[in-house]
Chain A
Amino acid sequence: MSLQYLREAVEAGDAEKLIRYVRLHLGDGDEAAGRAEIDKAWIEALKLLLDVPETDRPFILQTIADRDAATLAHLYFHLHFYFVKRSGEWIHDGQL
């Protein structure tokens, strides 16, 4: 999908087109795989918090407070791949 296609979807509020694109991106062109990848990343993140370990919450809050939304959005995509990689199940042809 071209950027213009995505911008038109944003203007039209076409959430289906947008989430489809995200799934295609995360699933390397396979929408179902992308959906599973999103689930996989969230499951991996959830597993890490089940025992309520000590985490650096001040860092989290400071980062969210200090950084611009675009940087946080970019971080969000990086975190997706981080947790997917951490899961040990890597579907992508290449590497980060």
Chain B
Amino acid sequence: MTDSSESAAAQLRPGLWRTVNERYPGSMIHKGDFVPLARLRQPLSESRLSFVSTAGVQPAGTPPFDTAHPVGDYTFRRVPSASRPDELEIHQLKYPTHGARRDLNVIFPVERLQELAAEGVVGALTPNFFSFIGYNMDAERLERTLAEEIADAVAADGADVALMSPA
């Protein structure tokens, strides 16, 4: 095992998340309603795809996500879909970023999606992707403001389909 893989393994902290319910009582969000996924109205190869992530990825040099706030950050960032990984940075305390710092695509696959668009697997990418941090204690605010704002922004970017990924 190399030094870097040892660091990555140390970050995994086996067992930590098995006790998340005990350590964070009341943190689980229970949804009583159900919103079915929308069906694609056209082939993926003719669709404009957007990407929404909780990875805390943002353009380098922009005001960082508020990782210090005890109740979370309810803002999002637009990440140009034409970005190179070295133009982006991560501000996020709560997930292991060791691998992502070596290759951002493992958590925010900007280059892979650019390739899929270039190969015609997807029709095009929206001008922006969208990113926020997943540490949010106010589930209602998350649902009623942040999620709505991101949905509006994704729609305004002309998305036909959105790939959503938790970090």
Contact = CB atoms under 8 A, between A and B. Distances in A.
Interface in B1-48: 11, 16-17, 20, 23-27, 29
Contacts, number: 75
A80 B68 contact: yes
Contacts of A31: 23
A96 B26 contact: no
A78 B70 CA distance: 10
B93 A93 contact: yes
A5 B26 contact: yes
A96 B69 CA distance: 11
Main secondary structure of the interface of A (DSSP, over half): helix
Contact of A94 (B67, B138, B141): B67
Interface in B63-95: 64, 67-71, 90-95
A95 B20 contact: no
Contacts of B141: 3
A92 interface: yes
Given A25-B70, A29-B20, A95 B92 contact: yes
Contact of A2 (B17, B92, B139): B139
Contacts of A93: 11, 93-98
A94 B58 CA distance: 14
A93 B90 CA distance: 11
9 contacts: A2-B139, A29-B24, A30-B16, A74-B69, A92-B94, A93-B11, A93-B95, A95-B91, A95-B92
Interface of B: 11, 16-17, 20, 23-27, 29, 56, 64, 67-71, 90-98, 137-141
Given A2-B139, A31-B23, A81-B67, 11 more contacts: A5-B26, A28-B93, A77-B69, A92-B94, A93-B94, A93-B98, A94-B56, A94-B91, A94-B97, A95-B97, A96-B68
